[in-house]
């Protein structure tokens, strides 16, 4: 089974520019997460989708970050405008609600963002 796909793997931008990240979860996984992992820290949840609806976006800086999952499959996370402190790895994860793997999140390789 194919894993969680993310692109691009690396992105370098200047502050105040915009950037977008893409995630394609494992086929059939209804729940999708975006995490921000700052160097030296654990991942922090930004937003959680259930199909195409938002379950939790309480930690998403909504003045500059936005995310969508229009068809309930792949998702896009956008930052506009970027700040220096947004430099981090952005991880996408997905999970199914099946009995065996419930609560196990499968992670993509991440997108490393550097804001100069």
Selected range binding another protein among 19-27, 62-70, 75-83, 106-114, rule: CB under 8 A: 106-114
Please tell me whether residue 91 binds another protein under the rule CB under 8 A: yes
d(CA 93, CA 60): 16
- Residues in 4-23 at the binding interface with another protein, rule: CB under 8 A: 4
d(CA 66, CA 96): 23
d(CA 18, CA 21): 11
- Single residue of 16, 44, 62, 83 touching another protein by CB under 8 A: 44
Please tell me whether residue 72 binds another protein under the rule CB under 8 A: no
| Residue 77 host element (H or E) | strand 75-79
Please tell me whether residue 36 binds another protein under the rule CB under 8 A: no
CB atoms within 10 A of CB 30: 16
- Single residue of 40, 53, 70, 71 touching another protein by CB under 8 A: 40
d(CA 83, CA 98): 39
Selected range binding another protein among 21-29, 42-50, 66-74, 75-83, rule: CB under 8 A: 42-50
Please tell me whether residue 103 binds another protein under the rule CB under 8 A: yes
């Amino acid at each position: 089974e194919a894993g969680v796909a993310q692109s691009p793997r690396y992105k370098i931008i200047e502050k105040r520019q915009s950037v977008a990240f893409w995630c394609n979860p494992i086929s059939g996984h209804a729940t999708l997460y975006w995490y921000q992992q700052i160097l030296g820290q654990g991942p922090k949840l930004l937003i959680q989708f259930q199909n195409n609806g938002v379950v939790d976006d309480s930690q998403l800086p909504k003045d500059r970050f936005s995310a969508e999952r229009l068809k309930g499959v792949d998702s896009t996370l956008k930052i506009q405008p970027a700040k220096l402190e947004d430099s981090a790895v952005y991880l996408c994860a997905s999970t199914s609600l099946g009995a065996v793997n419930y609560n196990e999140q499968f992670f993509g390789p991440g997108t490393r963002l550097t804001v100069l």
